[in-house]
Structure 1
Amino acid sequence: MAAPRNEPRHRVVVGSLAFTFLSFAIPVSMFGVIWPDVRERFGQSLGALGVVSLVYGLARMSTSGSGRAATTRFSIGACIVAALAGLVAVDLVVATSTTWPIFLVGVAGVGLVSGLLDSVGAGVLATIGEVGSAGLVHGAYGVGATLGPLVVVVIDDWRWSLAATAVVAIAAAAVAVAARHDWPPPPPAPSSRSTAPPRRATTISLLVFGLFVAVEVTMGQWLFTYLTDGRGVGDTIAAVGVAGFWGGTTVGRLLLANPVLSDGIDRIGLPACVAVAGALYVGVAFVPGWGIIVCSTSAGLLLSPLVPTLAARTARRVGTMHAQRVSGWQLLAANVGAISVPAGTGLLVDWVDPQVVVLVVGGCLAAGFPVLLAARHLPDLTAN
């Protein structure tokens, strides 16, 4: 879409945005892995991780629609640099918290700045309009989510692990400052007149985003607890299993920049990817030892194309004139799924036991499969 003369500027912008997404993915991916030490330090129950998920999710959702307003009043570069400075501060609040309420305040702060950065980033990607760029940025988020659990394993102290995330955010802010003259203007606001978006396509889009983001976040936050407390798996294998899930998701999204791969996924179909991922997820509940890592990594790889592909093709489902508005709704639906399902899982873990995590994620996959089939058969509203 972009003219050749803009490509170098876009590379700078996309590179900075990718680093930004990586920086705010790291702390949230740590929460599930550091939870045993955190809950012992603050005297919380096993299922109180759901409270952490709820606080983070509500805070993130509260700013997930603020990108357009913020970038209209200020510049995109200024919003990103300021939010990254805030991320440094709240990462340090979480790392140095001495009480449970202060810990939750820090978690909420991470959610607030993450929602703003996510929203601003969505506007930038919509302006650039390149599937490869979207894949790179979403993949960078996965890199951060993969690194988070591994940092905890290497540093082996939850406070210093979170302090390390502040260093990454500082580096991302420095890159954003260097790119401050290359950011594009924010996309124009959609018209409030004219017809409403197609109801069926919009409903399907929102359900798909809500369900499959819920799968990703619940797996990322609860897989470690399920494996260690539900299956009795060792901490190292469980942590690497979580990192493997995010790693598979990351590699798959980065590879979307290759048109041969993205065309191959189109031919195979996203429902087929989900079906095989579901079978691999069942394997996580039964295979021994290192086989868990193979299954979780492969499941992440197969689920990876869903969100970037569906986001990039929003205009096909709802039409070009409604794409901006529906993209915002999809981000909101994704946040609802990311909040409600992991938080509800925490309640179920306390009421039942950690084994219930398998049923929750499996239920979301089963519910999402027919919705994804319906999305595949929607007409292309951008076709002549």
Structure 2
Amino acid sequence: MATFFLIIIYLAFISLGLPDSLLGASWPVMQKDLGAPLDMAGWLFMLIAAGTILSSLASGRVISRFGTGKVTLVSCLMTAAALLGYAESASVIWMVLFAIPLGLGAGSVDAGLNNYVAAHYKAHHMSWLHCFWGVGATLGPIIMARFIDGSGSWRDGYLTISAIQFGLVLILFFSLPLWNKVAGIRTAANGMEEEGASNGPAENAAGASASAKPLRIRGVKQGLLSFLLYCGVEATLGLWGSSYLVHVKGASAVFAAQGVSLYYAGITAGRFITGFITFRVSNRLLIRAGQITALAGVVLLCLPLPGGYAVAGFMIVGLGLAPIYPCMLHETPVRFGRENSQTIMGYQMAVAYVGSTLLPPLLGFLASFSSIGIFPVYLGLMAAAMLLFSERLNRVMELRTGGGEIGGQSKVH
């Protein structure tokens, strides 16, 4: 039963990634069709992100009251309905209205699924699940491109993605009874411990009671800053990497686009490989190794070398980033206690979206006063700060548990 249910969660992660890259892929056609200004895509993106941040912050209370299964079902229903609304929108005003449920639905389901997997499954599943998110994010533009190239209708692309989401809603509806059953089975099998992650109760690792305010738990602020900076690095390279290759390295637009696609391929492939490594290496060591690897890739970008070396730097950064996000998510119950993990997971999702929404435009603002040549320096500062806050969090955990791996984590994880 637990294996069958895990397949459903994998499908949910693919579905979660499908809408994330649709707007950018379809906007050149949508803009002309709707007579919208070019920068409206940015405003829609920020509105969706704002909804995601708000629902992530509220997810702890909402899921505590209604349960992960029901919240995931309603969130996916909101997402499917919003995509259907996009397909039928006659003007930008309607798209602005449908952006609200699209963002609200994405935040709750993201926080809920991440916490459920962190609490009930091993670390390799978290890495593979986020790899499958990448599969969904890759398939979204491919599906949209087929319709734009064939019928020229972006509406059919949104309609297709919406139909896939409604299909997932049906699956989630009929699987509602499994959420609590599987959670009970996994909890009993783990002996009330994080599976393979802790030798003692998760609440002891957190050193805080369920009634404690999450932000007052030692280490939470460092953890949130690590998420903020991680998403800042990931999104900044994705948004500005192509411009850096063209304007600084003198590469063609086609070569630059291929270089950025290799960066995302590095993240996806790295997460697939990380899933196997987690059988032998702890989350803590994988996070540290990933951060150091990402910094090495940024250093390569800073060197006065041809564009091909910069693309290699992109791939190294992508491989380095691959284990960081899923491993940090999986550590949440171990670091801060099972009873606090859902609320803190929502905070982490919200801060992550803040980082991916605000830090990339900040580089554009700074570059307007100098040049896009500051791109690798900006990345390097964020990556170094992420490593610093992550190591400070490790120190807090070591002091709490008397040394060793975080939360008494064993090497086999």
TM range (shorter): 0.7 to 0.9
Give 1:291-302 correspondences, 5 Å limit. 295-302=313-320
Residue 271 of structure 2 is aligned to residue 253 of structure 1? yes
Query: Counterpart of 1:105 in 2: which secondary structure?
Result: helix
Cα distance change, pair 259–80 in 1 and its aligned pair in 2 (3 A): same
AA of the residue aligned to 2:9: L
Quote the residue 1:56 is aligned against: 48
Normalising to structure 2: TM-score of the pair?
Answer: 0.73
2:170 matches 1:170: no
Q: CA deviation at 1:165?
A: 2.0
112-121 vs 349-358, which moves further: 349-358
Residue in 2 aligned with 1:6? none
Q: How many correspondences in the alignment?
A: 372
Name the stretch that deviates more: 186-195 or 124-133: 186-195
Cα drift, residue 196 of structure 1: 7.3
Q: What is the letter of the counterpart of residue 77 of structure 1?
A: G
Instruction: Check if 1:330 corresponds to 2:348.
Output: yes
Equivalent in the alignment of 2:408:
383
* Partner Cα distance (2:337, 2:266) in 1: 32
- Residue pair 1:60, 1:115 contacting (<8 A) in 2 also: yes
Specify the alignment match of 1:180 in structure 2: 176
Alpha-carbon offset, residue 140 of structure 1:
1.7
Q: Distance in 2 between matches of 1:110 and 1:92?
A: 10
1:247-326 matches, within 5 Å, as: 247-259=265-277, 263=281, 266=285, 269-279=289-299, 287=307, 295-318=313-336, 322-326=340-344
Check whether the contact 1:209–1:334 (CA below 8 A) recurs between aligned residues.
yes
Work out which of the two has the higher radius of gyration on C-alpha atoms and give 1 or 2.
2
CA RMSD of aligned residues (A): 3.9
SS at match of 1:245: helix
- Structure 1 residues 148-157 or 305-314, which shifts more? 148-157
Deviations 1:150-202 (A, max 9, x none): 44444445444333322331332243234333213789996215997543x22
Structure 2 contact 118–333 (Cα < 8 Å) conserved: no
Match of 2:37 among 17, 32, 44: 44
Per the alignment, residue 3 of structure 1 pairs with none
Cα distance in 2 for partners of 1:58, 1:262 equals 38
Q: What is the 5 A alignment of 1:1-384?
A: 9-41=1-33, 42-45=35-38, 49-156=41-148, 158-184=154-180, 191-193=210-212, 197-199=216-218, 201-221=219-239, 223=241, 237=255, 240-259=258-277, 263=281, 266=285, 269-279=289-299, 287=307, 295-318=313-336, 322-344=340-362, 361-380=379-398, 381=401, 382-383=407-408
* % identical equivalent positions: 20
What residue ranges of structure 2 are gaps of 5+ in the alignment? Answer: 188-202, 204-208, 402-406
Tell me the equivalent position of 2:195. none
Helix, strand or coil at the partner of 2:112 = helix
Residues in 1 aligned to 2:165 and 2:214: alpha-carbon distance in whole angstroms: 42
CA distance in 1, matches of 2:38, 2:162: 27
Gaps in structure 1 of 5+ consecutive residues: 1-8
Q: Matches of 2:41 and 2:347 in 1, distance apart?
A: 27
- Distance in structure 1 (CA, Å) of the matches to 2:89 and 2:395: 50
Shift, 1:16, TM fit: 1.4
